[in-house]
Amino acid sequence: MGDQPILRINALTKRFNEFTALHGIDLNVRDGEFLAIVGPSGSGKTTLIRLLVGMDEPTEGAIWLRDSRIDAVPANKRPTCMVFQSLALFPHRSVGQNIEFPLKLRKVAPATRKARALELLELLRLPASYYDKRIDECSGGEKQRVALARALAFDPEILFFDEPLSALDYRLRKTLEKELKDLHRRTGKTFIYITHSLEEAMVMSDRIAIMKAGRFEQIAPAAEIYARPRSRFVAEFMGEVNLFDMVDGRVPGLRFGPRASNLFVGQTGTLVVRPESVALLAPGEEADVALEGIIESEYLLGSRVQYTVAREGAAPVTVEVLRENAVGGPGAPVVMGFGTSACHLIAPEARDAAA
Amino acid sequence: MQRRDRQLGLLYALPIGVFLAVAFLAPILLVAAFSTMPPKVFSIWNMPDFSAYYTVITQGYWKTVAWSLGMSMAATLILFVVCWPLAYGMAKVFGRFSLVLTIGVVMTLFVSENIRLFGWVLTLMKGGLVEGYIRAWTGTGFDGLLYNVPVIVFGLCYVYLPFMLFPLAQGIAMVPEDARAAAFDLGATRWQIFREIELPLAMPGILVGSLLTFVLAAGALAETKLLGGQAVIVIAEEVETAFTYGQNWPLGAALAMVLIVIVGGIAIWGIGRADLDRMMGRR
Amino acid sequence: MRTSRLMGWLLVAYGCAVLAFLYLPLVSVGLASISKARYLTFPIRRYAYDWYGEALASDTVRDLLLVSLKVAGIVTVLSMVIGFLGALAFARYSWRFRKAYQKLILLPIFFPQTVLGLALLMWFNTVGIIPSWKTAVVAHLVWIAPIATLVISIRAYSFDPALEEAARDMGATTWDTLREVTIPLLMPGVISAGLFAFLLSWGNFPLSLFTTGADSTLPEWLYAKMVSGYSPLVPTVGILTVGTSAVLLALGLTAALIFKRARAARNA
């Protein structure tokens, strides 16, 4: 993985009439990286990818591919390509013809084209007999592989993905996520992957960029985003989370032990605690931070149990424990606690910051 | 549920099915029967002798057939070129304007073809709208633009434009936007997208539009009579003449059969290939 | 891949040019109808509306109008009924011969109308029916009923079969389902098919030519006059015919718009 960025985005803005879809965003993508861009629908990720592949032009700002500025270059002149959400396989062409399409456009000799297509079929673990198959005879997963093979035949500098797995069922998606990561490793190409599913992004990518309302909220490796979200939005987006508003080192309803009191003295912000970091305390057991409530509901999550615990005068807390540590059902009063190492404090000014 | 579907389908198809059997298929069979009769008889209870077909072959009727088919082929090609950009606009670019255009074009269909062609006579004749005003402004007139083969082809193009335009627009609308975008992304130029993606994927619409235009133009009569004068005679006119002035029903029937076989053959071939459910948007 | 703004405007301009081209001959007819001269030449020097008065007062024109109206009216009603049922069989139900049936429906539309008219004339003659405006109704229906079927089919295709199943599930009989669910939902399609049917019958010439016998419709009369030499009444009656269609179409479109607005207002 080289240090020189392959793609640089500089103050990129896109406006549609009144509506601003992207607010002057910046991004550097390293050569050979697998970057996932994650955000809810309407966050601007689709607009961004359309600008990156050249389907649209930015209102302001620049896109650099290595040393050349490409934001005004149309998609058919850019050395990048995309795997579409719909896959956009040509229904009137066979599997082989689909894969060879970019080579045919470049006037590559038929024999060379076919050889390359067969190589790619093998790379994607499709039998060579698929060369003559019709697209509508392929299953969902096979189509996915054909689309990938076609994009690889183009030999792009950067391969973009626009949620190509979103239409597949859960198990197939899981298999293909692994295959895609494996393919990334084997080809050494730069992958930029757009998705609304954080789970997908976490499995595959080196770094995740989280988008909200046309801005990046945070760009970092998955583990860091999970442990140290930069904003409430990121914290909540990364899954089930408990958030407590802290003012001057105190949170109503939370009892701080000496270590927590020292750590948070004078601090203001939002305290982030993941449900699996919260423990149910046995009578007399101590914790850095303790709180109490009454179990409202109980959900079984395989080997774990999740409780929603109601608290008087405060928002409910979500707790997730191993099944063997479960303590009775709704109505039971409980005392909960967590350590300072499991806490992360989001400073209030960090909320609006973009990466 | 399925059994009921099958029964209801058959039941509901009955009225129009029976009607077409009696008022469409039976008359065509009758024409076929008549075409085998000896000359100038008015009933089918005679000994068939197929002499009408002999007359059709030996009397040089192939020329009128060739004129009809040639002119309708020319009109089909011209209309394809003229309508493609417009159909493309309607399917992909226009938005609201495409509704205006659709209504505007459909409305002309409701005006009798005669009146519209007559309007062209008034427009193109000597002393008509075009020649009259040019003479008034420049002082020199010309002979009028009517009564030749190109003007007949022009008239065919005019009358059958909607029959090319709408199927074409429907066909282009069936080309998935993503397929075009993907080809573009993979490096295709506009022309390559047209040739590799749009043309083949819009083929059902192109096929239906071309067939419809060709078939209707091949059986057309009014264009030649009103705009063409005596420039050429087309097959439909020969059929009419044989029935009316000639009082030779078997000959008319034989000529009609030639037209029916050509047109019907093309139509059945084309209709057989089109997937109607998909074209008309079945869920 | 976006179509550039310039390209978009060029296409719109092209569309307008095509529309102008389609309507140009009607402009000529319109101008001719208000020319005072008995023998028309452009540019028109003096305008007058006398021919309209003459046309409206003429008995011939009134008879023609009556025949055309009768034919078109009956064709409209029959094609709405036949087309409604035909469309259900065409688009909604899966049954054994559906594909073949769909193709049978399309054939008359492709068929040369002049030949169809002649074939019907021979048929009526053979079975001993004397052609009159009633036989013209049959001739028109051969062409128009399939068109009505197609128009209603478009609506029937977008109709969710689950709605009928839900009605049956709640105990509706076949007739209840038809009356409560199917007919109301397909109504817009049936009405536009009716409008199509009327207008197409009103303007049709090639089918009427051989099948009206002693009666005559407006387009037939116009054709006869056009071929046999110029009459100043031709453009006038032509414009009256076109005007009738235009008014009817305008009424139809307005009604559709009002209906849509009303429904939108109710849903809002």
- Edge-to-edge strands, sheet with A19-30: A19-30, A5-16, A60-65, A68-69
More confident residue, A163 or C33: A163
The answer to whether B158 touches B116, Cβ cutoff 8 Å, is yes
Residue identified by tokens 């000896």 is: B38
- Distance between CA atoms of A87 and A89, rounded to whole angstroms? 6
Burial class (CB in 10 A: 0-12, 13-18, 19+), B99: exposed
Nearest to B109 by CA among C239, C246, C105: C246
The mean pLDDT value for B107-123 works out to 85
Nearest to A85 by CA among A163, A148, A172, A174: A163
Q: Say whether residue C73 is in contact with chain B using an 8 A CB cutoff.
A: no
In the predicted structure, residue C168 carries a pLDDT above the cut 70:
yes
Residues near C262 by beta carbon (within 8 Å), at least 6 away in sequence: none
Q: Which amino acid is at B43?
A: S
* Token digits of residue B8: 């209801």
Output the average pLDDT for chain C.
Answer: 84
How many angstroms separate the Cα of B191 from the Cα of each of A4, A327, B78, B83, B198? 37, 70, 20, 17, 10
Three-state DSSP at A84 gives coil
| Ranges of each domain in chain A | 5-229, 240-352
List the chains bordering chain A where 3 or more Cβ pairs fall under 8 Å: B, C
* Token digits of residue A196: 């609304």
Three-state DSSP at A30 gives strand
Supply the pLDDT for residue A353. 45
* Token digits of residue B220: 């057309």
Angle at A41 between CA A10 and CA A166, to 5 degrees: 105
A81 min Cα distance to partner chain B (Å)? 6
Quick check: ipTM above 0.90? Answer: no
| B187·A77 Cβ contact <8 A | yes
- Distance between CA atoms of A344 and B210, rounded to whole angstroms? 69
Q: Which amino acid is at A281?
A: L
The mean pLDDT value for C238-255 works out to 84
Range of the domain at B263: 60-279
Supply the pLDDT for residue A196. 87
Confidence of residue B1 (pLDDT cuts 50, 70, 90): low
The answer to whether B224 touches B152, Cβ cutoff 8 Å, is yes
Report the run of H or E that residue A164 belongs to, with start and end. none
* CATH number where B194 lies: 1.10.3720.10
Chain C residues within 8 A of A76 when measuring between CB atoms: 1
Q: Which amino acid is at C32?
A: A
DSSP string across chain C? ----HHHHHHHHHHHHHHHHHHHHHHHHHHHHHTB--SS--SSP--B--HHHHHHHH-HHHHHHHHHHHHHHHHHHHHHHHHHHHHHIIIII---TTHHHHHHHHHHHHHS-HHHHHHHHHHHHHHHTPPPSHHHHHHHHHHHHHHHHHHHHHHHHHTS-HHHHHHHHHTT--HHHHIIIIIHHHHHHHHHHHHHHHHHHHHH--HHHHHHSTT---HHHHHHHHHHT---THHHHHHHHHHHHHHHHHHHHHHHHHHHHHHHHHHH-
- Distance between CA atoms of A346 and C183, rounded to whole angstroms? 61
- pLDDT tens digits, one per residue of B135-169: 878 877 777 777 888 889 999 999 889 989 988 88
Q: Is residue B45 part of a domain?
A: no
Question: Could you count the other beta carbons within 10 Å of the beta carbon of residue C115?
Answer: 29
Output the average pLDDT for chain B.
Answer: 85
Q: Say whether residue C1 is in contact with chain A using an 8 A CB cutoff.
A: yes
Tell whether omega for the bond before C43 is within 30 degrees of 0, i.e. cis: yes
In the predicted structure, residue C2 carries a pLDDT above the cut 70:
no
The answer to whether A117 touches A198, Cβ cutoff 8 Å, is no
Chain A residues within 8 A of B192 when measuring between CB atoms: 105
More confident residue, C183 or A112: A112
Chain A residues within 8 A of C2 when measuring between CB atoms: 55-56
Q: Is residue B17 part of a domain?
A: no
Whether CATH 3.40.50.300 fits A5-229: yes
- What does the DSSP 8-state code read for residue B47? -
- pLDDT tens digits, one per residue of C52-94: 777 777 778 888 888 888 999 999 999 999 999 999 888 888 8
Whether CATH 1.10.3720.10 fits C50-267: yes
Q: Say whether residue C129 is in contact with chain B using an 8 A CB cutoff.
A: no
The mean pLDDT value for A43-53 works out to 91
More confident residue, A143 or A347: A143
- pLDDT tens digits, one per residue of A214-268: 999 999 998 888 888 888 888 888 778 889 988 888 888 888 888 888 888 888 8
Q: How many domains does chain B have?
A: 1
In total, the C-beta contacts within 8 angstroms joining chain B to chain C are 310
Supply the pLDDT for residue A351. 44
Q: Is residue B55 part of a domain?
A: no
Q: In this complex, which of A74, A92, A102 lies closest to B186 when CB atoms are compared?
A: A102
What's the topology of domain A240-352? OB fold (Dihydrolipoamide Acetyltransferase, E2P) (2.40.50)
- pLDDT tens digits, one per residue of A277-332: 898 888 888 888 998 889 988 888 888 889 999 988 888 999 988 888 777 778 88
Q: Say whether residue B174 is in contact with chain A using an 8 A CB cutoff.
A: no
Share of chain B above pLDDT 90, in %: 18
Share of chain B above pLDDT 70, in %: 96
- What does the DSSP 8-state code read for residue B231? S
Supply the pLDDT for residue C268. 59
- Distance between CA atoms of A57 and A70, rounded to whole angstroms? 10
C54 min Cα distance to partner chain B (Å)? 19
| B183·A75 Cβ contact <8 A | no
Nearest to C218 by CA among C207, C229, C200, C204: C204
- Distance between CA atoms of B168 and B94, rounded to whole angstroms? 15
More confident residue, C226 or C120: C120
Supply the pLDDT for residue B107. 83
Share of chain A above pLDDT 70, in %: 97
Supply the pLDDT for residue C218. 85
- pLDDT tens digits, one per residue of B262-282: 888 888 888 777 777 766 665
Range with the lowest mean pLDDT among A120-124, B254-258, C14-18, C157-161?
C157-161
A138 min Cα distance to partner chain B (Å)? 17
| B114·C40 Cβ contact <8 A | no
B196 min Cα distance to partner chain A (Å)? 9
Supply the pLDDT for residue C38. 64
The mean pLDDT value for C205-214 works out to 84
| Ranges of each domain in chain C | 50-267
- pLDDT tens digits, one per residue of B191-210: 999 999 999 988 888 888 89
C12 min Cα distance to partner chain A (Å)? 21
Q: Say whether residue A107 is in contact with chain B using an 8 A CB cutoff.
A: no
Supply the pLDDT for residue B279. 67
Supply the pLDDT for residue B235. 86
| B185·A101 Cβ contact <8 A | no
Q: Which of A85-89, B54-58, B82-86 has the highest mean pLDDT?
A: B82-86
Confidence of residue B226 (pLDDT cuts 50, 70, 90): confident
Residues near B230 by beta carbon (within 8 Å), at least 6 away in sequence: B147
The mean pLDDT value for A187-203 works out to 90
Supply the pLDDT for residue A349. 58
Supply the pLDDT for residue B281. 60
Chain C residues within 8 A of B35 when measuring between CB atoms: none
Q: Say whether residue C147 is in contact with chain B using an 8 A CB cutoff.
A: no
- What does the DSSP 8-state code read for residue A25? E
